[in-house]
Amino acid sequence: MKIILKAVSILLLGMSTVVMGQTDTLGLEQFIGDWRGEGHFYNVNLSGEVGMVRFTLRVTPEMDITGSIGNAQIVDTEIEVDDWNGGYSIKGSVQGQIFPNNEFHKKRITLLLKAVRDNATIGDFHLSSNYIFDLSMRPGDITLRRNP
């Protein structure tokens, strides 16, 4: 019995090492190109105050990503498969004022996107001051369409 338990333990350890050692990039190429879209904050008061948020993204074949949210630039980005949410995650920094006539400002952005269908993707965006924990995080929904 001990031998069987040892063999099963070694087998499970070996399988988990193989799975954890892989970096899954499956499907990232579907985001290559230029994207435009809009989003709305889930907070009704903030959404009423600032309205719709415009987004642009450019993803190169090397997975370099640039873009904008409102009047601010999205920089220092990375994209990865997000198994937790069953989609893809783009994280970056926000430089500049998102809304020109509003004091609203955040330093970080996370886009949680679903797979591309019919040249469009949907998901959520999170604007925060950091990537760890932010009580004043401002989430919303986003729709992006491939720009031909």
Domains and CATH numbers, the chain: 28-146 (2.40.160)
- Its pTM stands at 0.79
Amino acid identity of residue 22, one-letter, is Q
Q: Is the pLDDT of residue 19 over 60?
A: no
Record the tokens describing residue 43, joined without a space. 């907070």
Q: What is the pLDDT of residues 52-86, one digit of tens each?
A: 999 999 999 999 999 999 999 999 999 999 988 88
Give me the residues paired with residue 8 across strands: none
Q: Is the pLDDT of residue 9 over 70?
A: no
More confident residue, 101 or 113: 113
Vertex 89 angle, CA 124 and 140, to 5°: 15
Q: How many CB atoms lie within 10 A of CB 129?
A: 14
